[in-house]
C-alpha cells in the first residue's frame, strides 16, 4: 500500500496513515484504509491501533473538491471514507486511535470509528466543514453526537471550531491525554493488554453496546442474549470459569 502502513506485532495491529505532509484523506487513502481494516478482521489480530504523524489526519484533500467544482461537477461523496470507517467500527476487537497533531474533518470522523481515543496534549480536533459551505460527510453528524452528546456535537458542527486536548477530554472525546511523545506507546501498550483478554467476549460486548445505543431495549437485550450464548460456547469461557474456580489468572486464546 502506498499511503497506509499495516504492521502486526504479536496480536496487535498498527495501522499508520502515511500521506505527507498532513495525511489529507483522498479516495486512494480511503481505499487503502478499507484494505488495512479488512486485513485486521483476521482472528490472529486481537486489538488495533490507528495513528498518523505528525498529524493523525488533517481532513479531506480539498484540492479534489476544487477539481470537481471547477469541472462543473455538483456531486461529491465521502463514500470511500464512510466504508473504511464502517469496517473499522465493526471490527469485533478493541480499537484505539492514537491522535497526534490535527484530527479534523474526515480525520476526526476516522478517530470516531475507534472504541477509544488517546490524544496528545498538543493535538486538536474539529469538524470544520461548515467553513467550506459543507457538512461532515463520513459520520461527523452521527458518531460525534454519540460520543460527546447532541448539544456538544451541534456546537462543533455548527461552529466548525477546533478543540484542544483538555476540552476534548471534558467533552468525552479523548479517553486519555498524554504528552505527544507518549501517546502512541501508551496506545500500543494498552492494545497489547486488550489482546490478552477474551476477544470473543469483547467483540460480543461491543456489538451489544452498539445495538442498545439509540435503539429500543428489546433489540439491545436480544443482541446481549445472543452474544452471551456465543461466548458461553467458547473456549475462553471454559478457561475463564476454570481459572476462577482454580484461583488463577486466565490465559485466554481469543477463541
Set 75, 129, 167, 239: catalytic member: 129
Query: In 3D, which of 209, 231, 230 has the Cα closest to residue 219?
Result: 209
Strand, helix or coil for residue 195: coil
Sign of CA dihedral 105, 118, 47, 51: positive
Set 109, 224, 226, 239: catalytic member: 109
Query: In 3D, which of 97, 66, 93 has the Cα closest to residue 195?
Result: 93
Q: What is the DSSP secondary-structure string of 123-187?
A: -EEE-GGGGGT---SSSTTTHHHHHH-HHHHHHHHHH--EEEHHHHHHHTS-SEEE-GGGHHHHH
Known catalytic residue at 224:
no
Known catalytic residue at 109:
yes
- Catalytic residue numbers? 109, 129
Amino acid at each position: 500500500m502506498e499511503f497506509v502502513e499495516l504492521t502486526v506485532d504479536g496480536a496487535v495491529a498498527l495501522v499508520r496513515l502515511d500521506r505527507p505532509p498532513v495525511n489529507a484523506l483522498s479516495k486512494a487513502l480511503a481505499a487503502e484504509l478499507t484494505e488495512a481494516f479488512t486485513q485486521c478482521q483476521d482472528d490472529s489480530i486481537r486489538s488495533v491501533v490507528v495513528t498518523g504523524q505528525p498529524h493523525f489526519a488533517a481532513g479531506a484533500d480539498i484540492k479534489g473538491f476544487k477539481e470537481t467544482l471547477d469541472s462543473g461537477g455538483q456531486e461529491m461523496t465521502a463514500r470511500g471514507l464512510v466504508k473504511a470507517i464502517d469496517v473499522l467500527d465493526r471490527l469485533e476487537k478493541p480499537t484505539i486511535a492514537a491522535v497526534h497533531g490535527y484530527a479534523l474533518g474526515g480525520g476526526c470522523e476516522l478517530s470516531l470509528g475507534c472504541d477509544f481515543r488517546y490524544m496528545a496534549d498538543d493535538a486538536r480536533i474539529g469538524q470544520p466543514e461548515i467553513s467550506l459551505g459543507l457538512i461532515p460527510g463520513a459520520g461527523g453528524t452521527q458518531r460525534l453526537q454519540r460520543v460527546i452528546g447532541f448539544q456538544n456535537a451541534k456546537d462543533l458542527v455548527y461552529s466548525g471550531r477546533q478543540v484542544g486536548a483538555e476540552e476534548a477530554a471534558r467533552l468525552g472525546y479523548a479517553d486519555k491525554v498524554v504528552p505527544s511523545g507518549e501517546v502512541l506507546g501508551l496506545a500500543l501498550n494498552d492494545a497489547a493488554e486488550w489482546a490478552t483478554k477474551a476477544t470473543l467476549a469483547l467483540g460480543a460486548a461491543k456489538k451489544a453496546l452498539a445495538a442498545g445505543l439509540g435503539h429500543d431495549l428489546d433489540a439491545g437485550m436480544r443482541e446481549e442474549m445472543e452474544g452471551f450464548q456465543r461466548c458461553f460456547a467458547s473456549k475462553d469461557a471454559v478457561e475463564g470459569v476454570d481459572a476462577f474456580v482454580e484461583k488463577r489468572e486466565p490465559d485466554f486464546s481469543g477463541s
